[in-house]
Structure 1
Amino acid sequence: MLDAYMHRLHVDEAWRTLTAQREKFDYFLADTHFRESWQLAVDVLGADAGWLMQRIALLTVRPEGILGRKARDCVQALAELDFEPVYAYRFRYDRLMIRELWRYQWNVASLDRLAVGERIHYRSDALCLVLLDTGLPLRIPASSRLSRHKGSASPADRGPEHLRSRLGAPNRILVVVHCPDEPMDVVRELGVIFDPEALRGVYTRLAERVAAGLRADPEPVISELYAEFPARDLSVDAALRTVLAALADTARGGGGPGAAAARAGEAVRSAQHGRPLDWQRWCGELRDAGLDPDSWAPTLVASQLVEHDVPGARCLLGRTGRALWQAGQGRMLDRPAVRAAG
Structure 2
Amino acid sequence: MPDATPDSMPDEDDWFALTASARKRTAYTEDLYFRECWADVVDIFGADRRNWLNPMAMFAFKADGVAGRRLRPTMRYFAEQGFRVVGVAPFQHNRQSMRAVWQYDWHVYPADRLSLCSLMHAATPSLLLLLVDVRYDGVVPGTMRLSELKGSSDATARSPQQLRSVLLPPHRVINFVHVADEPADVVREAGIFFDRADRRRLFEQARDHYDDDLADLAYAEIDELERLYPASDFDLEAAFGRLAAHGVTLKDLDRLRAARDCGPKLRWDELAAVIDPADPATDVWDFVRIATEVLPMERPGLAGTMPAPTSQDWIARAGRPLSVAR
Residue in structure 1 matching 2:212, options 187, 211, 214: 214
Alignment of 1:278-317 (within 5 A): 278-286=267-275, 295-317=284-306
Q: Contact (CA 8 Å) 1:57, 1:133: kept in 2 or not?
A: yes
Q: Aligned partners of 1:274, 1:20: CA distance in 2, in Å?
A: 44
Q: Aligned partners of 2:263, 2:81: CA distance in 1, in Å?
A: 38
**In structure 1, what residue type is equivalent to 2:249?**
T
Query: How far apart are 1:267 and its partner, in Å?
Result: 4.3
**In structure 2, what residue type is equivalent to 1:280?**
D
Alignment of 1:30-45 (within 5 A): 30-45=30-45
Whether 2:119 is the aligned partner of 1:116: answer: no
Q: Aligned partners of 1:205, 1:270: CA distance in 2, in Å?
A: 48
Q: Aligned partners of 2:265, 2:318: CA distance in 1, in Å?
A: 40
Q: Aligned partners of 1:154, 1:237: CA distance in 2, in Å?
A: 22
Q: Which runs of 5+ in 2 are unaligned?
A: 1-5
Length-normalised TM-score, structure 1: 0.84
Aligned residue in 1 for 2:261: 272
**1:209-235 Cα distance to aligned partner (Å, 9 max, x none):** 11xx22212111111111111111122
Q: Aligned partners of 1:4, 1:87: CA distance in 2, in Å?
A: 26
Q: Contact (CA 8 Å) 2:104, 2:304: kept in 1 or not?
A: yes
Query: How far apart are 1:180 and its partner, in Å?
Result: 1.0
**1:124-172 Cα distance to aligned partner (Å, 9 max, x none):** 1111111000014343000110011100012222222110111121222
Percent identical residues: 30
Q: Aligned partners of 2:189, 2:43: CA distance in 1, in Å?
A: 18
Whether 2:4 is the aligned partner of 1:5: answer: no
- For the aligned residues, what is the CA RMSD? 2.6
Q: Contact (CA 8 Å) 1:150, 1:164: kept in 2 or not?
A: yes
Aligned residue in 1 for 2:163: 163
Q: Contact (CA 8 Å) 1:286, 1:292: kept in 2 or not?
A: no
Q: Contact (CA 8 Å) 1:20, 1:324: kept in 2 or not?
A: yes
Q: Aligned partners of 1:4, 1:124: CA distance in 2, in Å?
A: 35
Aligned residue in 1 for 2:78: 78
**In structure 2, what residue type is equivalent to 1:62?**
K
Runs of 4+ in 1 over 4 A off after TM superposition: 240-243, 245-249, 290-294, 329-332
Aligned residue in 2 for 1:239: 239
SS at match of 1:234: coil
Q: Aligned partners of 2:120, 2:104: CA distance in 1, in Å?
A: 20
- Cα 1:332–1:116 shift into 2, 3 Å: farther
Q: Aligned partners of 1:206, 1:165: CA distance in 2, in Å?
A: 29
SS at match of 2:249: helix
- Cα 1:101–1:334 shift into 2, 3 Å: same
Q: Aligned partners of 2:41, 2:237: CA distance in 1, in Å?
A: 45
- Cα 1:264–1:291 shift into 2, 3 Å: farther
- Of structures 1 and 2, the larger Rg is shown by 1
- How many pairs align? 317
**In structure 2, what residue type is equivalent to 1:110?**
P
Query: How far apart are 1:278 and its partner, in Å?
Result: 2.1
- Cα 1:334–1:63 shift into 2, 3 Å: same
Q: Contact (CA 8 Å) 2:57, 2:143: kept in 1 or not?
A: yes
Aligned residue in 2 for 1:327: 316
Query: How far apart are 1:179 and its partner, in Å?
Result: 0.4
Q: Is the helix fraction higher in 1 or 2?
A: 1
Q: Aligned partners of 1:41, 1:80: CA distance in 2, in Å?
A: 29
- Cα 1:296–1:272 shift into 2, 3 Å: same
Q: Which runs of 5+ in 1 are unaligned?
A: 252-261
Deviates more, 1:325-334 or 1:311-320: 325-334
- Cα 1:270–1:304 shift into 2, 3 Å: closer
SS at match of 2:88: strand
